[in-house]
Amino acid sequence: MRSMPHLIESKISGNDEVAPGHFVLKVESSELASLVQPGQFAQIKCGDEKDIILRRPLSFYKIEGKTLFFLYKVIGKGTGILKMRSPGEDISILGPLGRGFWFSDSMANGKKKIIIAGGVGIAPFPFLISEMISKAKINPGDIVLIYGAKKKEFLIGLDEFRKTGISLYPSTDDGSEGFKGTTAELLSKLCKEGGLKGGDYFGCGPGIMMKGIVEITKKWGERVQVSLEERMGCGVGACLSCVKKINGKYLRICTDGPVFWGDEVEW
Ligand SMILES: Cc1cc2nc3c(=O)[nH]c(=O)nc-3n(C[C@H](O)[C@H](O)[C@H](O)COP(=O)(O)OP(=O)(O)OC[C@H]3O[C@@H](n4cnc5c(N)ncnc54)[C@H](O)[C@@H]3O)c2cc1C
Ligand code: FES
């Protein structure tokens, strides 16, 4: 059951660089923390109205008590303003928004949960993994995370993932950590070595990576839930700027998604 979005005026409690050009924003809100589901996102007001009007969409990265965490990569104006913000400053957040990943305790069935993340596409997964373990009672040993980035320094939170007891397979384009190559190549390799076919699949990352993963899993007769990124205006279904063709219909990424079945997306 999705909650109605709330407009929260809160305080920043942290905004630290965790990898070159990547920051973790922390905001306090017990109200939002109790409502969010993994894969949902918030529309963040990055700065003053005189500097920037449109809010920017960011996934919920982690929730700890009443603290909301957002992992973001600095791209342009909005995230460029956001990275300058300091603890103690006010911030306005609209959320939770969208339809997140589908998972339930019926998935605690010994089948592998295979998560594939590329770059900042890792953002929704620490929260998903934590909810899979704590709420759906999925054995951490049944969760597999394939996480790729350009190089080692952009793989964020590896030690934290290791502490959860999940199986972690990093990959880098330059081979500085884990497998040298793409996440799609690593997925195929792990599958050939045995064990990864016949699971529940979840993905988030660049479009080309998602398309590759959908093609691979389709060959095995499997489906993958993917979180899509599209340029957004309102984030609440009103402006139609985020529309994409899915299963023959034009759907809004912000309210009908951002998570969809990958085989239904017209890539
Ligand atoms: C549902 C959803 C969840 C997201 N979660 C995260 C996250 O957790 N961490 C993260 O780093 N990024 C995330 N993104 C992408 C993030 O919203 C953009 O990188 C960000 O809006 C860029 O804003 P900017 O002003 O810095 O860049 P600019 O290029 O100056 O932005 C100009 C406009 O384009 C939009 N835009 C630019 N790039 C993207 C993009 N890739 N996706 C959507 N809109 C874009 C902006 O929102 C803005 O309206 C998410 C996007 C969506 C749709
Ligand atoms: S962003 Fe306005 S309808 Fe989706």
- Short-list 21, 33, 229, CA closest to 117: 229
pLDDT at 1 over 90: no
Strand order, beta sheet including 259-261: 179-180, 167-172, 143-149, 113-118, 200-204, 224-227, 259-261
CB 38 within 8 A of CB 118: no
105-227 has the same fold as 6-97: no
Percent of the chain whose predicted confidence (pLDDT) is above 70: 99
pLDDT at 9 over 80: yes
pLDDT at 264 over 90: yes
Domain range annotation of the chain = 6-97, 105-227
Q: In CATH, what class is 105-227?
A: alpha beta
Q: Which residue's CA is the nearest one to ligand 1's atom 31?
A: 76
Of the bound ligands, which one is closest to the alpha carbon of residue 242?
A: 2
Q: Which residue has the tokens 């993932």?
A: 161
Q: Which residue has the tokens 């997306």?
A: 265
Q: CA-CA distances (angstroms) from residue 85 to 46, 48, 78, 89?
A: 8, 11, 11, 7
- Homologous superfamily of the 6-97 domain (CATH): Translation factors (2.40.30.10)
- Give, for 6, the enclosing helix (H) or strand (E): strand 6-19
Read off the pTM.
0.96
Within 6 A (CB) of ligand 2 lie 232-235, 237-242, 252, 254
Mean pLDDT of 141-159: 97
